[in-house]
Structure 1
């Protein structure tokens, strides 16, 4: 009678576990940086596309469109919250009853910082923005401050561009 054994030997299990451990120790440290870069890219892409939508909507509908974080219906400088794009006919930086929300951009991850030096951006019917609203969005990850593509600049004529920035603080050791 022939006796067949199913399974693995102890040597095979130890070698497999050792190989998995070595590969994990090489890839896992880079995985968190990769995920942080991916989170930054997605967030910045959403903001960039939303600014394009706001500008295009203002031009095509000949109205004022405001982009800002809202708290109790008024624009604030707390860009860590959800960012609202809404029709702002009277340019008062508040969402009034006769005005409506066009789009909402979800807030950035809690571990990351997102800022803009102004309270809001209001696109006019010609595609430009209101006086003294130009500036740069800065996205910083405290653990990896050197991530690429972390600045969106909004010009006075309403155009936006994304680029790398060195404005994030390096962690002190």
Structure 2
């Protein structure tokens, strides 16, 4: 006796399944990329807030000026927020990492993240005095992801309080 029960899929059935899977994946890919960008923005924003609070805490705990800023090749604070953000004890308040100052932390900025800082005064750094106040360097970080409309603002008050809010790039 010959049994004609077949097990498995025919070539046409496999091609149909492969076509359906391809269509579903191609429809979901933009959503996955958007979720990835949104996650990167959220993660970096949280990390930046942590660094701001750390900077303020160090100023309060040690009673010494502490600065958060990107440093150029001569260790001066710069307005170009593209690669790394440094936190250091700024003993003379010149917003420069001098040999007698202590570098505490460095935060790398991911390639897809854009960071801009608009602060009062010189606007190159966020600077806390020994009482944890920003005095003349309070302001707003504008954090965005390239190829996305989503953006976050991190606002630092004169008292050193930090708050974050979601905004759209079109309503900056």
2:47 is matched with 46
Match for residue 68 of structure 1? 69
Q: Is the 8 A contact 1:121 1:130 kept in 2?
A: no
User: Residue 80 of structure 2 aligns with which residue?
Assistant: 78
Instruction: Verify the 8 A CA contact 2:63 2:130 in the aligned structure 1.
Output: yes
Shift of 1:22: 2.3
Q: The residue matched to 1:80 in structure 2 has which SS?
A: coil
The alignment's C-alpha RMSD in Å is: 2.1
For residues 65 and 138 of structure 2, the distance between their equivalents in structure 1, rounded to whole angstroms, comes to 16
Q: CA deviation at 1:158?
A: 0.7
The equivalent residue for 1:139 is: 143
Q: Secondary structure at the match of 2:70?
A: strand
Aligned to 1:12: 13
In the alignment, structure 1 residue 113 sits paired with structure 2 residue 114: yes
Partner-residue secondary structure (3-state), 1:22? helix
Contact 2:76 2:96 in 1 (8 A): yes
Name the SS of the counterpart of 2:24 in structure 1: helix
Q: Deviations over 1:38-74 (max 9, x none)?
A: 1111111110000011111111111111000001211
Distance, in Å, in 1 between the alignment partners of 2:10 and 2:58 is 67
Q: Distance in 1 between matches of 2:103 and 2:14?
A: 58
The partner residue of 1:126 within 131, 149, 154 is 131
The TM-score, its normalising length taken from structure 1, stands at 0.86
For 2:94 and 2:41, the matched residues in 1 are separated by 31
